Amino acid sequence: MGGKLQANDIPILSPPGDHAVYLDMDKFFFGCDRQLGDFAAVGFTLELLKEYGIRAAEVGAFG
């Protein structure tokens, strides 16, 4: 999965693990006008669940 994400220019933390793939949300949202209080990574995880049924977790200020 990590390789497919990278092949599609989705930034992940490398190397991907056997149990999880971590998106690099700072790079994912690069160029967006977001602030710490916007909780962009939290919103992203909610959209994954709502639209695709994918459970995800946000970790850290921007996740």
pLDDT value at residue 61 = 60
- Distance between alpha carbon 22 and the CA centroid of its chain, in Å? 6
Per-run averaged pLDDT (10 residues), the chain, 63 residues: 92 88 88 85 92 87 50
Phi-psi bin for 47: left (phi > 0), alpha (psi -120 to 50), beta? Answer: alpha
Note the pTM of the prediction, 2 decimals: 0.70
Distance (Å, rounded) from C-alpha 13 to C-alpha 35?
22
Task: Confirm if 36 and 62 have CB atoms less than 8 A apart.
Answer: yes
Task: Confirm if 62 and 29 have CB atoms less than 8 A apart.
Answer: yes
- For Cα atoms 62, 46, 5, give the angle at the middle one, nearest 5 degrees: 70
